[in-house]
Amino acid sequence: MIELKIDPEFRDKIPPLTDAEFEQLRENILADGEVYEPIAVWNNVIVDGHNRWRIVQENPQIPFRTKEMEFADKWAAFEWMYRKQLGRRNLSDEQKTYLLGKLYEARKNSLGGDRKSNRQNDDLKPQGKTSIIIAKEQGVGQKTVERAEHFAKGLDAIANVSKEAAEKILKGGTRVAKSDVSEMREATNEEVKEFADAVNRGELPKKRDGKWATRETRDRYAKIRDIAEQMGTEQRGTTFDDVLRLLEAAENDFISKVERMIESEKNNITADDRWPDALEGYFDSVISDINELKERIMK
C-alpha cells in the first residue's frame, strides 16, 4: 500500500466529521468496495481525504486512487481545501462562516495576498482587494467576508484553549453568537478560557465589561451603515440635525418593517426550529455593522 503522510497542520484545518457522518462514509465505502473519490495529495501529504485514508488503512483490501496536486505554497493549498469544503451541502452556518474566514486568510497569505504582486503572481490569481474578489466568488457581501475572518480568528483562539468548545460551536446549536466568538480574537487567555468553559458547560458566555454578548441591542439600527454611506454622498449643506433625522427615519423604518414581517409570518417562522439561530445570526451581523460604523465615526 502507498504510504501517504498526514500533516496535522493540514488535517486540522477542516471541520471534522461527526461520528455519524464518519460511520456513514465507512459504510458507503465498504458497500461500494472501493473509494470512488481520489485522495488529493501535495508532495505526498494528504490535503483532502483524511477520513477516506483512515478507512483504507483499516480496510487495506479496499482499492483507492490518489491525485497529485500542484500549489505555489501551503497557503494556496489551504485555499483550495477551504474552497472545496465550502461546496459541501451539510455544513452548519458556523462552519460556513469559519471556512469563509479561513479562505480569506489563506488567499491574503498566499503569494503575498493584497500586497503588490509581481508578474508571476499576476498570472496565478485575480487582482483587486481580496475580500471583494472572494465576496463575488462566494455570492456574499464584502463585509460578510471580513466578519467571517474575525469569527475564524476568534474560534481559533478558543480552539487553542479547548478544541471541545470550538467543535461544539462549529457544529451549531450552542446559541453562542458569532459576534461574541469574534470578540475572542482580541481577548486575554483568561477571558478565552472563561468563554470556552461556559460553552463546554452548555451555557451562554456572560457579558463582561461590555466586551461581548451585547444581545440587548440586537433589535435596532439595521440600516445605519447604509445611511452613513448615503451621508458621504450628500452635499456639504447637510446639517447635524439633518443627519440625526436620517438616522431616526432609518431606525423607525427598519423596526416597522421587521414588526410587520414577523406579525404576518409568525406562524411560519415560529414553527421552524431554524428560526431562532437565523434571527440571532442576522442581528449579530447588524451589531457588527454598528460597531464598525462607531469605530469609523469616532476616529
pLDDT value at residue 199:
93
Residues 296, 232: contact at Cβ < 8 Å? no
**Grid cell in block for residue 11:** 488535517
The alpha carbon of 125 is separated from its chain's Cα centroid by a whole number of angstroms, namely: 22
Q: Tell me the sheet residues that pair with 68.
A: 41
1-6 own/partner pairs: CB under 8 Å, 24+ apart: 1/56, 1/57, 1/60, 2/66, 4/39, 4/41, 4/44, 4/45, 4/46, 4/53, 4/66, 5/44, 5/45, 5/46, 6/45, 6/46, 6/50, 6/53
- Strand, helix or coil at 134? helix
pLDDT one digit per residue (tens) for the chain, 299 residues? 578 899 998 988 887 787 888 999 999 999 999 999 999 999 999 999 999 999 999 999 999 999 999 999 999 999 999 999 888 777 888 999 999 999 999 999 886 544 433 333 444 455 568 889 999 999 888 889 999 999 999 999 999 999 999 999 998 878 888 888 998 998 889 999 999 999 999 888 865 554 443 333 333 444 455 555 555 554 445 566 677 777 777 777 777 777 777 677 666 666 666 666 666 666 767 776 776 666 666 65
* Nearest residue to 40 via CA among 8, 73, 84, 75: 84
- Gap between the Cα atoms of 71 and 201, Å rounded: 42
Residues 53, 67: contact at Cβ < 8 Å? no
What digits encode the pLDDT tens for the residues 151-197? Answer: 999 999 999 999 999 999 998 878 888 888 998 998 889 999 999 99
Largest CA distance in the chain: 78
* Nearest residue to 155 via CA among 124, 128, 126, 178: 178
- Gap between the Cα atoms of 214 and 56, Å rounded: 48
pLDDT value at residue 20:
87
pLDDT value at residue 297:
64
Exposure string over 214-242, b if 16+ CB within 10 A, otherwise e:
bbeebeebbbbbebbeeeeeeeeeeeeee
Per 3-state DSSP, what percentage of the chain is helix, strand, and coil (rounded to 5)? 65, 5, 30
Q: What is the chain's alpha carbon radius of gyration, rounded to the nearest angstrom?
A: 23
Q: Tell me the sheet residues that pair with 76.
A: none
Dihedrals φ, ψ of 124, to 5°?
A: -100, -20
